[in-house]
Chain A
Amino acid sequence: MPRLRRISVVKPSAQDFAEAAERHLDDVHAFLVYLTGDRSVAEDLTAETFARALERWRKFDPRRGSARTWLCQLARSTALDHFRSEERRRRREGRYALGGTDAPDAAFGEGLSPELEAALSRLSAAEREVLALRIILDLDGDSAARVLGISTSACSTRLSRALQKLEQEVTAGVAA
């Protein structure tokens, strides 16, 4: 007679969180680097994301998605809060551009060609985030769509357009 497996929901512990942080820190950081286009801001937001994650770690349910997807959702929410506060600050100071053109060199990766680096900086955060999720983090379509809060097909369309635009920008940069 086969033994019945007892199904139980184990609450994630602080030890689990340390392991998840160790395993997914690079992913969250890379995602935020692409989303913000600024390494120092990305580092601050990464730390803030993990601080929030630790507070909410008890609510994390592994049955509803992987820890990486959950952390990326938190990272995106943290970045959005940052963008909102930045926009308010800039509005107060009378600046209308949201930055991005004055991104520092080697913001996205150490070994990237200058043309690709410049092309990435010319993309919007919305375009860069889908590139980060699908290409850099190599998330599957469903997980990436869940992080972005859109359908899988919309996510694929967004990725295709972002890649197309990146290619155009690189080609234009090389020609210039």
Chain B
Amino acid sequence: MSQLELVQELRANRPVAPTELRERVLALAPPPPPRRFEPNLRRLVPAVAFAGLAAAVGVATVVGVVHGSRGPSVTSAKTSAPHGAVQTRKTAKSPVRANPTASLYADKALGVAPSTTRLQQYDAFLRVRVKDQSELSRRTQQALRFTRSLGGYVVSAKYSAPGTSGTSRLALRVPIQRVQAAIAVFSAYGVLVSQRITLKDLQQKVDALGIRIRRVRARIAGGEPGAQLERDKALLRRLTRGRQATTQRAQLASVALTMAVAAKHKRAAAPPGRFHRTLDDAGSVLVREFELLLYALLVAGPLLLLGGAAILASRSFRRRADQKLLERA
């Protein structure tokens, strides 16, 4: 018997449900309507996602409209009065508004005070925005003069002013006792855009060198002439030089001052309108929400992946078990 004949015979003699079974099935009464809410995941998940998206956009819009209608804030500029930085207050009136971080730095224009009892390495990096090229030139000369007047010196100076832009990069050494005054004055040359100060304690190193020097001196005093004595003397010279260099480093603070000409009055143009402020605020809120979502996904992602893998594995296992069961039956 061929396969075709087999198929024909099977189709011609298919089982038919008996009448009793038909009546039994058709007599089935419909179940009462469900009392409780039965969530359908296939509909619930997209609905929740859509609601979340709508809420995020809604919040961003509301925040944008509320903040946008307030107008540009001037309070931050007024409250950002650094100690002794009179010039900063004068020039920072409008630009600080555009760059709120500038006011933050202007508050700290004096930087961190160096210790008066310990030797420290003091490095300051300042970036100041000036009005135009003539101001840049004037401020560069003032900075050089002021550094010398403080008893410091100029390590390097790079000045370039092509077109309407310009940059002046100065590497200065200032006596550490006067570095705060220098920072305050340099910060007042324009709008302080950024400021970084690093302090490193050198006292411990100098103390350790002093102890080693005393020991080597004692060895030299009680030692016999010979190769060892010569080695000790050389070591003593090296240690003494090292201590002098470290002490010298602690006496002069390093100040890297960069002054740049601001882009041609782009920010000084008419303040953004209410519509643009609303858009900006709404956009920043959306970006923040997106960041939070991304963070949540990063945290929950591995767990979700593990859960998904476990579900897939259990389904696969169940399917295989069913297949084996049917093969045995």
Contacts and interface: CB of A to CB of B under 8 A. Distances in A.
Given A135-B7, A167-B2, A54 B329 contact: no
A47 B6 contact: no
Given A29-B17, A126-B323, A131-B10, A50 B329 contact: no
Given A22-B26, A43-B21, A47-B25, A108 B15 contact: yes
Contacts of B15: 26, 29-30, 33-34, 39, 42, 108-109, 136
A54 B28 contact: yes
Contacts of A36: 329
B35 interface: no
A67 interface: no
Contacts of B11: 135-136, 138
Q: Rank and list the top 10 A-B pairs by shortest CB-CB distance, nearest first.
A: A109-B13, A126-B326, A125-B329, A29-B17, A111-B13, A125-B326, A33-B15, A14-B30, A50-B25, A30-B15
Contacts of A70: none
Report the interface size class on chain B.
Answer: 20 to 34
12 contacts: A18-B26, A22-B26, A26-B17, A29-B21, A30-B17, A83-B325, A87-B328, A116-B9, A135-B10, A163-B3, A163-B7, A167-B3
A163 B17 contact: no
Given A14-B30, A113-B9, A135-B11, A25 B17 contact: yes
Interface of B: 1-3, 6-7, 9-18, 21-22, 24-26, 28, 30-31, 40, 319, 322-323, 325-329
Interface string A85-105: 001000000000011100000
A100 B30 contact: no
Contacts of A26: 14-17
Contacts of A80: 322, 325-326
Contacts of B3: 163-164, 166-167
A25 B329 contact: no
Contacts of B40: 59
A136 B26 contact: no
A46 B327 contact: no
A153 B326 CA distance: 19
A166 B328 contact: no
A57 B34 CA distance: 12
B266 to A, nearest CB: 50
Contacts of B13: 108-112
Question: Which of B1, B7, B9, B326 is most buried by chain A, counting CB atoms within 10 A of its CB?
Answer: B326
A21 interface: yes
Contacts of A50: 25, 28
Contacts of A18: 26
B319 A149 contact: yes
B30 A124 contact: no
A130 B324 CA distance: 15
Nearest to B17: A29
Question: Which of B12, B15, B16 is most buried by chain A, counting CB atoms within 10 A of its CB?
Answer: B15
B18 to A, nearest CB: 7
Nearest to A64: B42
A30 B17 CA distance: 7
Contacts of A42: 15
Interface in A153-170: 163-164, 166-167, 170
Contacts of A125: 326-327, 329
Given A21-B26, A25-B21, A83 B329 contact: yes
A87 B11 CA distance: 31
Contacts of A7: none
Interface string A8-26: 0000001001100110011
Contacts of B24: 47
A174 B5 CA distance: 15
A174 B28 contact: no
Nearest to B42: A61
